[in-house]
């Protein structure tokens, strides 16, 4: 899995930002961005949150916990998952079974 520094650099380049531009957006200095990218310094969680927000990605992606830059970035989807996690196990299983069937139906129609 990629390091925080590599993910940080990839996300910066995907937004076509220089180190100076990124540093300005997160109220930091360009030299510290370089240190993050080289994995010489680890940022605070607040900095990681700002980096993820500026780059329109997730903290999980930057920390290497996910390979998907967009995973759970949508607040409405995240809210639904949080609501789902508060239900009883039986209810969760029923909802997920129905959701899986709907997703498979859409996928099947897409390949026809």
**How far is 16 from 50, CA to CA, in rounded Å?**
17
**CATH topology classification for 4-62:** 434 Repressor (Amino-terminal Domain) (1.10.260)
Burial class (CB in 10 A: 0-12, 13-18, 19+), 77: exposed
Residue 66 confidence (pLDDT): 72
Element (H, E) at 99: helix 89-111
pTM above 0.75, yes or no: no
pLDDT digits (tens, 9 = 90+) for 93-108: 999 999 999 999 998 8
Rg of the chain over all Cα atoms, to the nearest angstrom: 18
Per-residue model confidence as pLDDT tens digits over 33-78: 999 999 999 999 999 999 888 887 888 888 877 766 565 566 777 7
Per-residue pLDDT tens over the stretch 18-29? 999 999 999 999
Domain boundaries, the chain: 4-62, 75-111
């Amino acid at each position: 899995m990629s390091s925080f520094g590599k993910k940080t650099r990839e996300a910066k380049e995907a937004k076509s930002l220089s180190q100076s531009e990124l540093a300005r957006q997160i109220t930091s200095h360009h030299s510290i961005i370089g240190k993050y990218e080289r994995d010489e310094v680890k940022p605070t969680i607040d900095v990681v949150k700002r980096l993820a927000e500026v780059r329109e990605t997730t903290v999980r992606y930057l920390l290497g916990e996910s390979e998907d830059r967009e995973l759970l970035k949508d607040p409405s989807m995240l809210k639904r998952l949080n609501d789902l996690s508060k239900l009883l196990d039986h209810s969760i299983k029923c909802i997920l079974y129905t959701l899986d069937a709907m997703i498979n139906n859409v996928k099947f129609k897409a390949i026809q």
